[in-house]
Amino acid sequence: MPGPYAPSDARNYVGIGKQTVRATSVAPTAFVPYIDAVDMDHGQAINRIMEAGANGQVTHSEKTGHIPGGGFTFLGRPSITPKLAAFLMGVDSIGAAVSGVTPHTITDDLVTDYLSIEQNAADESVERFKDSVIGELTFNCDRDNPKLRVKGTWLGGILEHKGSTATADSYETEEPWVLSECAFTVDGSGDTEVTGFELTIRVKASQEKISGVHPVHIVKLGFECELSFTRLDLAITNTGYRRVNYGTTGGTTASVNAVTGAFVANFTRGTAATARRFQLNAANIDYDSAVYTPLDPNASEGMKVVYAAQARKAAGASLLEVLGNNTDAAAYVT
């Protein structure tokens, strides 16, 4: 029907479908329960050309690229969260199901998994972007925003306008993960003082055009993984702060090497075989910094320490390992 239209219309959706092959789009099978405004940019690149005899004015334009991309933020749930991690990272090794719950172990490879991203505006404009990829995922939660939030970005799509032909949408009904369901392990030891964290995993990609304006291939070149977390350190002189800045918990001078460690955020719900699980495991990290709350005569909170680190590739290990136990019986990627 004619507008005006509401950005909050219940018919609007962002859906994702896993393509079997490049260049053949599919209808979405997973729908993103986005909580903020959705980003979408058609990514048109135009060169303006000025020629002699035109008094310094544009005489021609040439289109050099049309590479859409976008992003969305949603609350992390047991199914959609590891699914998007698998789409980005590339490997999903599943174990035997027990009582209907299947374990997924997600690691990285350099094989591109192409997706169709579909965006629907009020059943009036349905756009599908085939040959897209998930480029980045950021996971975060803290004591002020205890529900796990996931920000995803996608890139590289080739346009297919579907007119008003919408796909029937549906959303995961399980509850989002919350901070109280998360157990942290820092540098190999259980840690009950972490008040929040943020972890970003991104793929480095080359979007390869040939003669047209769309990329024909998206080549995965590698991954980057960054981490920050905050602790209410109860013994600031002999815990992580001193180790990161002085090399050891008893150090008195700066270390000449980056201090190494590990970080695990393990969300669990339920017990025994039927438990749901979502785990982020950065088994090898190099710390960049540890900074405590600035000294302040008019302070409004207790002192905390914010740690920043980068995941490091170790032989035989994935840069990041994502684990998900849920009712999805099939592997997300093969």
Average pLDDT over residues 70-84: 98
pLDDT for residue 334 is more than 90: no
273 three-state secondary structure: helix
pLDDT at res. 233? 85
pLDDT for residue 138 is more than 90: yes
Q: How open is the CA angle 329-333-334, to the nearest 5 degrees?
A: 95
Residue-wise pLDDT for 145-204, tens only, equals: 999 999 999 998 899 999 999 999 999 999 999 999 999 999 999 999 999 999 999 999
pLDDT at res. 237? 67
User: Is the separation of the CB atoms in 17 and 27 below 8 Å?
Assistant: yes
CA 147 to CA 180: how far, in whole Å? 9
DSSP state of 21: S
CA 6 to CA 85: how far, in whole Å? 31
Residue-wise pLDDT for 118-131, tens only, equals: 999 999 999 999 99
Burial of 249 (0-12, 13-18, 19+ CB in 10 A): middle
pLDDT for residue 8 is more than 70: yes
Average pLDDT over residues 37-65: 97
Average pLDDT over residues 70-86: 98
User: Is the separation of the CB atoms in 78 and 174 below 8 Å?
Assistant: yes
Residue-wise pLDDT for 79-106, tens only, equals: 999 999 999 999 999 999 999 999 999 9
pLDDT for residue 236 is more than 80: no
pLDDT at res. 249? 87
pLDDT at res. 255? 86
Q: Supply the mean pLDDT for the chain.
A: 95
pLDDT at res. 274? 81
311's tokens? 């995941």
pLDDT for residue 1 is more than 70: no
pLDDT for residue 296 is more than 70: yes
100: left (phi over 0), alpha (psi -120 to 50) or beta: left
Q: Is the pTM value of this prediction over 0.85?
A: yes
pLDDT at res. 266? 98
CA 97 to CA 330: how far, in whole Å? 10
320's tokens? 């990041």
Q: Using a CB cutoff of 8 Å and minimum separation of 24, what contacts does 255-258 make?
A: 258/286, 258/287, 258/288
Instruction: Outline where the chain has alpha helix (H).
Output: 80-89, 240-246
Average pLDDT over residues 240-258: 91
pLDDT at res. 3? 83
